[in-house]
């Protein structure tokens, strides 16, 4: 007898052809209906699309959060392991890890278990290195759609170029192959039987999977009665979950290597990588800011004894993560959604810049108490690079020194930005009108532009000190006088030396 595992679920796009707030109203409706069903049927199961962000979205305005969390704890509702379902080609590997870690953070907050199945249902193809990431997170199975390009391959071992591998169950007919949406009960029954027989023939196995759900679909209250009615000596239909289904599958023998982006069977929509590029550029800026500046600077500040709140950091990361679902970052949603994404990313960037400033200020007070510069290298290797900034100093003569007192640059005067950039190695005075900022009292702006060798992922200190003038450097301890004929007369230890040298006007 073939065991037909039916997973009741929904696929939840937070924002797409309608805005987040519009879809959230439907989310509340879905949750309330689900709670009502489970109150009457304690054995009902539901898969919440592999995401935990929906818990936060419901918590903000939903009225039965305690009941919902209780059902997740009991295993009736499966959530996670991800915070959101992102596009795999427009984000970094680090962002994937943050996605997973923030979901873990939510799980800890609510005291709930997370699914251990790497659910990737609707990404527009799959990155070659996903097996490496999934393996590193301790996941053995992934359930995915799009990009495999083969109808005859339902299970396979997916290997990354590094050689890391995970088992895959391929949703050959998508995540909605047993959806009840827009169907009468009889039409739904026909669909279940038709798909079960098709997969049985394709898979050649006694264990198959039907996905009872699709985009924003609400649960069907009598699904278990329908499944019981359909069961026969050949096919046993029953409500299940992904982990139970996968535990009964044999480990696959066939292998697939690298990127899964074959459009032969279903569209992978490669063109979305060039749509609404303003959002993609802003996302890249935000991601690089947090990965290479915000987090390292906060870590360095903490290493130097500063109290740093991780919640401030996670707030910025959450704004970035919420902009990474494929309909958001790929720019294939409504104009209103795109504007929301841009606003969210700008907020993340503003927040990140302030965290950088906060960390830098604290580092300066601990590491560099004198007037000068503290330069940060975000690279993980030693770097010789050009440093450019504007510093405000009182009028006078200054020079830039390293910690060992070796002089790097003297100050030179300049009346414009252009002159200040002619020489790539310069610490030059600029007139107040040549910079677009407010000049502090009793100070004038100087453009600082010099080459420096910086330690890997670290800081280097440079002092700005008064520069010695020619007069300072030509003071003699031994008295002398200049004769009328231009020669020097020097008196030293009682002896007088005359006509030692002369000065000639040329």
Q: What is the predicted pLDDT for the residue at 132?
A: 98
pTM of the model: 0.87
Does the pLDDT value for residue 413 go beyond 80?
A: no
DSSP state of 456: T
Please name the fold of domain 273-367: Substrate Binding Domain Of Dnak; Chain:A; Domain 2 (1.20.1270)
Q: Average pLDDT of 154-178?
A: 97
Residue 155: both structure tokens together: 């299970």
Reported as a single tens digit per residue, the pLDDT across 241-273 is 999 999 999 999 999 999 999 999 999 999 999
In the β-sheet with 155-159, what is the strand arrangement from edge to edge?
118-120, 141-144, 165-170, 155-159, 255-257
Is residue 459 a contact partner of residue 442, using CB atoms and an 8 Å limit? no
Exposure string (b/e) for 253-282, b if CB count within 10 Å is 16 or more?
eeebeebbbeeebbebbeebeeebeebbeb
pLDDT band at 487 (very low <50, low <70, confident <90, very high): confident
Q: What is the predicted pLDDT for the residue at 419?
A: 47
Of the candidate ranges 100-109, 185-194, 272-281, 456-465, the one whose mean pLDDT is the lowest: 456-465
Q: If you average pLDDT over every residue of the chain, what do you get?
A: 89
238 φ/ψ sector (left φ>0, alpha ψ -120 to 50, else beta): beta
Q: Average pLDDT of 272-278?
A: 95
CATH number of this structure's domain 2-268:
3.20.110.10
DSSP state of 82: B
Q: Average pLDDT of 366-384?
A: 85
Does the pLDDT value for residue 190 go beyond 90?
A: yes
Q: What is the predicted pLDDT for the residue at 408?
A: 66
Q: Average pLDDT of 113-140?
A: 98
Enumerate long-range contacts of 434-438, CB under 8 Å, 24 or more apart: 435/390, 437/390
Q: What is the predicted pLDDT for the residue at 234?
A: 95
CATH number of this structure's domain 372-467:
2.60.40
d(CA 191, CA 244): 23
Q: At residue 405, what are phi and psi to the nearest 5 degrees?
A: 75, 5
Q: Average pLDDT of 341-352?
A: 98
* Domain range annotation of the chain: 2-268, 273-367, 372-467, 476-506
d(CA 13, CA 54): 10
| Higher-confidence position of 497 and 163 | 163
Q: What is the predicted pLDDT for the residue at 416?
A: 46
In the β-sheet with 407-413, what is the strand arrangement from edge to edge?
372-376, 459-466, 398-402, 407-413, 426-429, 444-454, 383-393
pLDDT band at 410 (very low <50, low <70, confident <90, very high): low
């Amino acid at each position: 007898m073939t065991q037909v595992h039916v997973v009741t679920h929904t696929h939840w796009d937070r924002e797409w052809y309608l805005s987040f707030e519009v879809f959230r109203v439907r989310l509340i409706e879905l949750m309330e209906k689900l709670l009502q069903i489970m109150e009457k049927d304690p054995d009902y199961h539901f898969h919440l699309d592999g995401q935990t962000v929906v818990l936060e979205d419901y918590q903000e305005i939903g009225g039965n959060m305690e009941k919902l969390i209780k059902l997740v704890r009991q295993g009736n509702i499966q959530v996670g392991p991800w915070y959101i379902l992102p596009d795999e080609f427009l984000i970094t590997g680090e962002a994937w890890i943050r996605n997973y870690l923030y979901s873990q953070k939510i799980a800890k907050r609510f005291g709930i278990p997370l699914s251990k199945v790497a659910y990737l249902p609707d990404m527009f193809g799959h990155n070659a290195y996903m097996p490496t990431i999934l393996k590193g997170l301790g996941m053995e199975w992934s359930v995915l759609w799009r990009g495999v390009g083969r109808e005859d391959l339902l299970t396979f071992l997916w290997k990354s170029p590094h050689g890391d591998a995970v088992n895959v169950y391929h949703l050959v007919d998508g995540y909605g192959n047993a959806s009840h949406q827009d169907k009468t009960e009889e039409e739904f029954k026909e669909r279940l039987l038709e798909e079960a027989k098709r997969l049985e023939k394709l898979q050649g196995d006694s264990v198959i999977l039907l996905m009872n759900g699709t985009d924003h679909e609400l649960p069907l209250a009598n699904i278990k009665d329908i499944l019981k009615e359909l069961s026969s000596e050949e096919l046993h239909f029953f409500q299940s979950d992904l982990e139970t289904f996968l535990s009964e599958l044999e480990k696959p023998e066939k292998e697939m290597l690298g990127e899964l982006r074959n459009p032969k069977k279903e569209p992978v929509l490669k063109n979305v990588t060039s749509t609404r590029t303003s959002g993609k550029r802003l996302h890249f800026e935000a991601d690089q800011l947090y990965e290479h500046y915000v987090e390292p600077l906060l870590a360095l500040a903490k290493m130097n004894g500063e109290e740093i709140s991780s919640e401030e950091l996670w707030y910025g990361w959450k704004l970035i993560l919420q902009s990474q679902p494929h309909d958001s970052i790929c720019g294939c949603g409504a104009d209103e959604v795109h504007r929301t994404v841009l606003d969210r990313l700008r907020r993340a960037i503003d927040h990140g810049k302030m965290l950088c400033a906060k960390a830098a200020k604290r580092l300066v007070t601990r590491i560099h108490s004198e007037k000068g510069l503290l330069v940060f290298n975000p690279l993980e290797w030693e770097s010789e690079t050009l440093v450019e900034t504007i510093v405000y100093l009182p009028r006078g003569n200054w020079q830039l020194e390293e910690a060992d007192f070796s002089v790097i640059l003297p100050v030179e005067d300049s009346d414009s930005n252009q002159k200040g950039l002619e020489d790539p190695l310069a610490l030059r005075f600029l007139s107040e009108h040549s910079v677009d900022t407010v000049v502090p009292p009793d100070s004038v702006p100087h453009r600082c532009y010099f080459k420096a060798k910086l330690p890997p992922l670290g800081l280097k200190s440079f002092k700005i000190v008064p520069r010695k003038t020619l007069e300072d450097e030509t003071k003699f301890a031994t008295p002398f006088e200049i004769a009328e004929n231009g020669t020097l007369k020097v008196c030293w230890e009682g002896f007088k030396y005359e006509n030692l040298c002369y000065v000639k006007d040329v």
